[in-house]
């Protein structure tokens, strides 16, 4: 429990954003299994890690709510799409989705400003930076897939490259163990 009290007007949009982050995790996990079904294992691996990152985004936000005197609530997550016409369509979807999420983060920063909640505004700076990175990496992969086109060898090379991605927790934040428990 921190020293500041989160207002209800800030609490709820943060929980809703955590829900969108969890939806992102569902979406990328769904894409991961789509890629597995078409035997593109590097792409499947990349998406699986992306789904993990989104779970980190979810929990980091809810931990902030819970640690700021608010109440972290888990909301229903809708089922994501499960099939795409091609890797290109899937990555186009990622690209569009991340732009939507960036807009949501900016809206949340706007709520923090209206609420004169400087601590939350500062907390959200991490998400603003993260969105810049997410947009860059989705751009990069989208361009790679676009350049490969229908060329099987180029797609296989892209698949191999994406299979090299490694998972990294944000500095100072891991989702296991729960930070309130010493291990």
- Apex 10 CA angle, 6 and 13, nearest 5: 135
How many CA atoms does the CB half-sphere of 2 hold within 13 Å? 14
Distances (CA, A) of 39 to 4, 43, 176: 50, 9, 31
Q: Please, which of residues 6-45 interact with ligand OFO by CB under 6 A?
A: 21, 24
Tell the residue number behind the tokens 């400003």, with chain if given: 113
Distance CA 42, CA 39 (A): 9
Site string for ligand OFO, 131-170 (x = CB under 6 A): ---x------------------------------------
Q: Give the residue closest to ligand OFO by C-beta.
A: 24
Taking the least distance from each CB to ligand OFO, the nearer of 34 and 155 is 34
Q: Is 117 in the site for ligand OFO (CB under 6 A)?
A: no
Give the binding site for ligand OFO (CB under 6 A): 21, 24, 54, 57, 98, 101, 130, 134
């Amino acid at each position: 429990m921190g020293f500041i009290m989160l207002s209800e007007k800030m609490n709820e949009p943060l929980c809703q954003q955590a829900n969108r982050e969890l939806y992102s995790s569902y979406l990328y996990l769904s894409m991961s299994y789509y890629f597995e079904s078409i035997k593109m294992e590097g792409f499947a691996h990349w998406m699986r890690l992306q789904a993990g990152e989104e779970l980190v985004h979810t929990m980091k936000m809810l931990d902030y709510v819970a640690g700021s005197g608010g109440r972290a609530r888990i909301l229903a997550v809708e089922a994501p799409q499960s099939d795409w016409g091609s890797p290109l369509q899937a990555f186009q979807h990622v690209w569009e989705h991340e732009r939507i999420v960036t807009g949501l983060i900016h809206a949340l920063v706007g709520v923090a400003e209206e609420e004169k909640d400087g601590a939350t505004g500062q907390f959200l700076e991490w998400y603003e930076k993260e969105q810049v990175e997410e947009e860059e990496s989705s751009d990069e992969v989208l361009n790679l897939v676009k350049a490969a086109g229908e060329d099987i060898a180029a797609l296989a090379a892209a698949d191999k490259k994406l299979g090299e991605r490694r998972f990294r927790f944000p500095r100072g934040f891991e989702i296991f163990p729960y930070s309130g428990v010493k291990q």
